[in-house]
Amino acid sequence: MYVGKKVTRVDAYDKVIGRTRYTDDLCDKSAYIARILHSTVANGRVVSIDVSEAEKIPGVVKVFTCFDVKEKHYFPTAGHPWSTDESHQDVADRLVLTERVRFYGDDIAAVVAEDEVSAAQALRAIKVEYEEYPFVLDVMESMKDGAPQIHEEYPNNILKHTTIQKGNYEEAIKEPGLIKVEGWYSTPTVQHCHIENFICYAEMEGDRIKVVTSTQIPHIVRRVVGQALGVDWGKIRVIKPYIGGGFGNKQDVLYEPLCAWLSMQLGGHLVKLDVPREETFVSTRVRHAIKSHIISWVRPDGTFAARKLEAFSDQGAYASHGHSIVAKGAGAFPQLYPCENVEVDAYTIFTNKSVAGAMRGYGIPQAMWAVECHTEEVAARLGMDPIEFRRKNLMPVGYTDPFSKNELYTDTFNQCIEKGMEEIDYKRKYAEYQNQTGDIRRGIGMAVFWYNTAVWPISLETSSCRMVLNQDGSLQVQLGETEIGQGADTAYTQMTADVLGVPLEYVHVVSCQDTDVTPFGTGAYASRQTYTAGFAIRQTAMLLKERILEYAHELTRMPAYNLDIIDGKIVRVTDGRELMTLGELSTEALYSLNHSLHLSAESTSQIKSNAYSFGCTFAEVEVDIPMCQVKLLDIVNVHDAGTIINPALAEAQVHGGMSMGIGFGLSEKLMYDEKTGRALNNNLLDYKLSTFMDHPRLRAYFVENPEPTSAFGTKALGEPPTCSIAPAIRNAVYQATGVGVNDAPVNPHNLFRQMKEEGMI
C-alpha cells in the first residue's frame, strides 16, 4: 500500500534538474508581447486616450484601448463552479479593458509589440485624460451615505450583507451577572506572492482560441474566456502547464480573457502577457482585509451567554469571489465556540483598491485572527487559563452543522491541543513566562481553527477521472484537479496504485491539463482536491479493475470474483497463483485478433458531503520592548486532516502554510497612498514577505482520525496551516508583554504605537 507512505514526489526529479516547463518556457519566441496600461486614478472615467506617439515607436504592433472594446461582454472572474441557477451566479462586472476605472491599477489599454522594450516604451508614450471622481479606501467610510458610489447597482457600496441568528441575543444579554468583553480586530490587505507571476499566452487554431496559462482552474478559465469574448465555450481550449505557485490568486480568471481578445484582434497571432511583479501585486488579486467587531457576554463560570460578530470585508473595486470570503469566516463564528444566542452580520463592501479574491484560507485566517485574539481577551478578563477556557467552550464531540452536515466525530481538538502542548513544553513555559520585567521578555501563546473541506453544499462538488491502460500494464491518469506545487499528482499516484493494485511506477498522472482532453474538474481550491479527486480516483480505478478482471476472465476462464490485481499481476485469490502480469493481459487485449480492447475507464463523482478539518498553533516569542521587535523562537502546528496520504508532502505543505501565516501575523501588509489610492509597496523589497532568516524551525504534527465520509479517510490540509498562526503569535506577544495587538500584523510600527499608548516605552 502506498497511501500513508512517504513516497517521493513524482515531479521532483524534473524540478531539481531544471527540466520542468512552465508557461514562459513553452511560449514560442515568435510571440508578440502584450503589456497593460493601468489607470493612474483611483476612481473615474477615461475621457480619451492618445496612442499616436506610442504607435509610432518601432516594434509596436498596435495599441488597444478601452474604446476599442465594442462588444461589451461583462464577465465574472471568481474560480467558482458555474451555477445554472442565475441567482447563484458570480457577479459579472469586468470587461477586458474598461473606461470606467475603479482603482489605481485598473486596466484601460493594452500595448502589443514585437519585443518587451518597445512595449514598455509604448506604455510610457500613451497619454490618458480622465474625469476624476472622489474615491474611498476604507470600508467603514465606503458604507457611509454620501461616499463615492463605486458600482451603480450597489447602494452604500455594499456588495452583500448576510446575517446569522441563533437564539435571542437581545434577551440573553439581560441575564444578571454577565461580563461584557468587546473588541475590534483587523487584518491587512496581503498578497499571494507566488514566485511565478501571472502569465499566459494565446493564439488561434482555426476558429478556436487556445490559451496556455498559469492557472489553478483550467476548466473554469475555459468557461470565463468564453463568457468574456462572447464565444461558445467549446471554441476555447485552455492548457495548464506546471505553475510556480498560486495560493488562490490563480483561482481567479485574471488576464486570460484579455490575452485571448488581443490575439483575436490580431488575426489569431500568438500573444504573450507576462505580468510584472509590481502589477501582479496591484492588479491581480489580494486577500480581503477584514475589520471585525466582537462582543461576548460571559458568565463568571467561563461559559458564553451571548455573542455577536460584525465583520466588514474589503472587496476592493470588483466583485471577484465577493461575499463568499467573509461569509465563510462568519459561518465559522457560531460553530467554533458554540453558544445558544448568536448574532452575526457580515458585510462585503467595495472600495477603490485592488480587487480581493481567493487566498489560502479563504476568510478563515481573518476570522481566526478576530476570534482567537478575542478569546484570549475573554480568558484574561475571567482570569482563566486560556487553554482551559478554550477547552470548556470549543465545539464538542458530536457537534453537527445543520447546513453542511459536517460532524465532529472524535475528540480531535483536545488531541491536537495536547500534542501541541507536549511538543512546545507549554505548561512549563507558560508558568515561567508569567510576570516578567525587563526589556527582553518571552511569551507563549496558541490559537485553534476549523476549516471546511471543499465547497459542498454552497456549490457544486464534482470530479472526473480517466484511466487508460498501456501495453505494459502502466496507465495514464487524468483529472481536472490540478498540481500547483502542493503535491496533488503524487497523492493521486499513490491512491491509484493502491486501488488498482499496481506498483507506484505504473501510474503516470498527466500533470498538464488541456480542456480539450482532460476530463472535467474544477481545479485546485478550497483544500478540496485530495478529498474530491479521491472519490473519482477510487471509483474510476475500481471500474478499470472490473474491466481488467473481466478480460482476465476471458483469457483465464477463471471467474472474475476469484481474481484480483496484486502488485501489477493477475492473481487467483483462491490459491494466490500469479496467472499473468497486467502487461501481458494489456498487450493481449490491445492486439488480440479475437477481442481487441483498449482497457480504460472514466467516471464522474459528484460529492455531496463535506468534512471539518481541525488544528491548532503554538508559538513562542521573544519581544525586545525598546526595539519594538518580536522574534519568533518556536512554532508548532498540529493538524487533524484525517488520514495523511503522504506524510512528507503533508508536512511540507504545512510548513508553507505556516510561513504564510507568519508573514500575515508579523510583517506583511500591502499599503495604499491616502492621497491617490496608489499602492505604495507593491514589490518584493517593500512588501515584507518572510525570508529564510525570519523563521525558526517550522514544526508540523498530525493527529490522524480517518474521516468517515472520505474515499481515503482524508480531508482538508492545503489551507488549514495558514489559519491559526497569526493569532497564536499575537497571543504569545500578549503573554510576554501584556500588550494585545488587535490590528495585524504585529510589526514594529503597530507595537511601537500601542506600547507608546500604554506607556511602556
Partner 1 sequence: MSSAQYKLLRCTINGKKVEKMIDVRASLTDLLRDDFRLTSVKKGCEVGECGACNVIVDGECFNSCIYLAVWAEGKEILTLEGLAGPNGEISDIQQAFIDEAAVQCGFCTPGFIMSATEMLQSGKEYSDEEIRKLMSGHLCRCTGYENIFRAVKKTMLRRLGKEAEADAV
Partner 2 sequence: MYDMKALYEAESVEHAVALLVEHPEAQIIAGGSDVLVQMREGKRAGKELVSIYMLDEMRGVSYEADGAIRIGSLTSFSHITKDPIIQEHINVLGEAVDMVGGPQIRNIGTIGGNTCNGVTSADSASTLHAWDAIVEITGPDGVRRIPIHDFYIKAGVVDLRPGELQTAIIIPKEAYEGYKGHYIKYAMRNAMDIATTGCSVNVKLSADKKTMEDVRIAYGVAGPVPMRAPSAEAKAKGKPTTKAAIREFAKAVLEDINPRDSWRAAKDFRQHIAVVLAERALTESIRLAGGEINE
Site residues for partner 1 per CB under 8 A = 6, 8-9, 11-13, 15-18, 20-22, 24-25, 29, 57-59, 114-115, 117-118, 192-197, 242-245, 247, 274, 276-277, 484-487, 648-649, 651-653, 655-660, 662, 683-685, 689-693, 695, 697-698
Q: Does 117 bind partner 2 (CB under 8 A)?
A: yes
Helix 725-737 to helix 364-382 angle, to the nearest 10 degrees?
30
* Residue 233 near residue 218 (C-beta atoms within 8 A): no
**Which of partner 2, partner 1, none sits in contact with 563, Cβ below 5 to 8 A by type?**
none
What is the SS3 assignment for 236? strand
Instruction: Using CB under 8 A, pick the residue from 6, 67, 115, 171 that binds partner 2.
Output: 115
User: Closer CB to partner 1, residue 496 or residue 637?
Assistant: 637
Q: Which is nearer to partner 2, 17 or 685 (CB)?
A: 685
Separation of alpha carbons 101 and 45, rounded Å: 6
Task: Provide the 3-class DSSP secondary structure of residue 758.
Answer: coil
The item of partner 2, partner 1, none sharing an interface with residue 681, based on CB under 5 to 8 Å by kind, is: partner 2
The β-bridge partners of 130 are 46
Query: Phi and psi at residue 614, in whole multiples of 5°?
Result: -130, 165
Which partner, partner 1, partner 2, none, binds residue 176 by CB below 5 to 8 Å per kind? none
CA separation (Å) from 150 to 103, 314, 421, 497? 10, 13, 48, 53
List of residues 6+ apart from 245 with CB closer than 8 A = 192, 194, 195, 196, 484, 485
| Of the candidate residues 628, 641, 732, 746, the single one contacting partner 2 (CB under 8 A) | 628
Q: Which does 267 bind (CB under 5 to 8 A by kind): partner 2, partner 1, none?
A: none
The Cα–Cα gap between 264 and 270 comes to: 9
132 binds partner 2 (CB under 8 A): no
Query: If you ran DSSP here, which 8-state letter would residue 560 be given?
Result: G
Least distance in angstroms from the C-beta of 130 to partner 2: 20
The CA–CA distances, whole Å, from 386 to 372, 638, 662 equal 10, 18, 21
When binding is defined by CB under 8 A, the residue of 667, 714, 724, 735 that contacts partner 2 is: 667
Cα separations in angstroms, 345 against 22, 230, 292, 334: 43, 37, 10, 12
Q: Which does 320 bind (CB under 5 to 8 A by kind): partner 2, partner 1, none?
A: none
Q: Whole-number minimum distance, CB 484 to partner 1, in Å?
A: 7
- Residue 688 binding partner per list partner 2, partner 1, none, with a CB distance cut-off of 5 to 8 Å that depends on partner kind: partner 2
Q: Which is nearer to partner 1, 94 or 194 (CB)?
A: 194
Indicate if the alpha-carbon torsion angle 708, 335, 369, 141 is positive or negative: positive
Taking CB under 8 A as the binding criterion, the range among 165-173, 508-516, 564-572, 753-761 that sits at the site for partner 2 is 753-761
Q: Interface with partner 2 includes 685 (CB under 8 A)?
A: yes
Least distance (Å) between residue 669 CB and partner 2: 10
**Closest separation in Å from C-beta 745 to partner 2:** 10
Element (H, E) at 630: strand 629-640
Task: Pick one of 69, 92, 120, 178: the residue that binds partner 2 (CB under 8 A).
Answer: 120
Measured distance CA(313)–CA(137) in Å, rounded: 12
Which of partner 1, partner 2, none has residue 626 at its interface (CB below 5 to 8 Å by kind)? partner 2
Nearest CB to partner 1, comparing residues 338 and 696: 696
User: Under 8 Å CB-to-CB from 536, ≥6 apart: which residues?
Assistant: 463, 464, 465, 479, 521, 603, 604, 605
Q: Which three cell numbers stand for residue 677?
A: 489610492
Give rounded-to-5 percent helix, strand, coil for the chain.
30, 25, 40
Q: What is the DSSP string of 459-477?
A: S--EEEEEEEE-TTS-EEE
Sign of CA dihedral 357, 248, 482, 401: negative
Q: Applying CB under 8 A, which of residues 686, 708, 757, 758 lies at the interface with partner 2?
A: 686
15 binds, among partner 2, partner 1, none (CB under 5 to 8 A by kind): partner 1
Question: Strand pairing partners for 109?
Answer: 37, 65
Q: Which of 164, 436, 681, 704 binds partner 2 (CB under 8 A)?
A: 681
Radius of gyration in angstroms for the set of CA atoms belonging to the chain, rounded to a whole number: 27
Half-sphere exposure of 320 (CA within 13 A, CB side): 32
Q: Which of 205, 505, 673, 758 binds partner 2 (CB under 8 A)?
A: 673
Helices 386-393 and 412-424, packing angle to 10 deg: 170
Q: Identify what 120 binds: partner 2, partner 1, none; CB under 5 to 8 Å per kind.
A: partner 2
* 508 binds partner 2, rule: CB under 8 A: no
Residue 452: strand pairing partners: 612
Q: Which cell goes with 56? A: 509610432
Least gap, CB of 628 to partner 2 (angstroms): 7
Query: φ, ψ for residue 417 (rounded to 5)?
Result: -60, -45
Shortest reach from residue 636's CB to partner 1, in Å: 12
Contacts of 355 (CB under 8 A, 6+ apart): 103, 284, 285, 286, 315, 316, 317, 318, 320
Out of partner 1, partner 2, none, what residue 249 binds, judged by CB under 5 to 8 A for its kind, is none
Set of cell numbers at residue 40: 493612474
Q: Is position 761 an interface residue for partner 2 (rule: CB under 8 A)?
A: yes
- Judged by beta carbon distances under 5 to 8 A according to partner kind, the member of partner 1, partner 2, none in contact with residue 124 is partner 2
* Cβ-contact 226, 218 below 8 angstroms: no
Size of the site for partner 2 (CB under 8 A): 30
Least distance in angstroms from the C-beta of 35 to partner 2: 12
Residue 248 CB, nearest approach to partner 2 (Å): 23
Count of H helices and E strands in the chain? 20, 27
Which 693-712 residues touch partner 2, going by CB under 8 A?
A: 693-694
Q: Does 47 bind partner 2 (CB under 8 A)?
A: no
Q: Of 494, 515, 516, 519, give the one whose Cα is nearest residue 505.
A: 494
Interacting partner of 673 out of partner 2, partner 1, none (Cβ under 5 to 8 A depending on kind): partner 2
C-alpha cell at 18: 531544471
The nearest distance, CB 540 to partner 1, in angstroms, is 26
* Residue 422 binds: one of partner 1, partner 2, none (C-beta under 5 to 8 A by kind): none
The C-alpha atoms of residue 117 and residue 114 are separated, in whole angstroms, by: 9
Choices 244-252, 508-516, 621-629, 730-738; region in contact with partner 2 by CB under 8 A: 621-629
Least distance between partner 2 and beta carbon 688 (Å): 5
76 versus 246: smaller Cβ distance to partner 1: 246
CA–CA gap between residue 660 and residue 637 (Å, rounded):
13
CB closer to partner 1, 543 vs 648: 648
What pairs with residue 606 in β-bridges? Answer: 462
Min. distance of Cβ 25 from partner 2 in angstroms? Answer: 18
Assess contact for 506 and 568: CB atoms under 8 A. yes
* From candidates 180, 684, 708, 758, binder to partner 2 by CB under 8 A: 684
Minimum Å distance from CB 702 to partner 1? Answer: 15
**Partner whose binding site includes residue 748, from partner 2, partner 1, none (CB under 5 to 8 Å by kind):** partner 2
- Measured at the CA of 148, the angle between CA 147 and CA 154, to 5 degrees, comes to 90
505 lies in the site for partner 2, by CB under 8 A: no
Q: Least distance from C-beta 106 to partner 2, angstroms?
A: 19
Q: Residue 307's binding partner, choosing from partner 2, partner 1, none, with beta-carbon cut-off 5 to 8 A by kind?
A: none
Q: Which is nearer to partner 1, 274 or 743 (CB)?
A: 274
**Which residues sit at the interface with partner 2, rule CB under 8 A?**
115-117, 120-121, 124, 626-628, 667, 671, 673, 680-681, 684-686, 688, 690-694, 747-749, 752-753, 756, 761
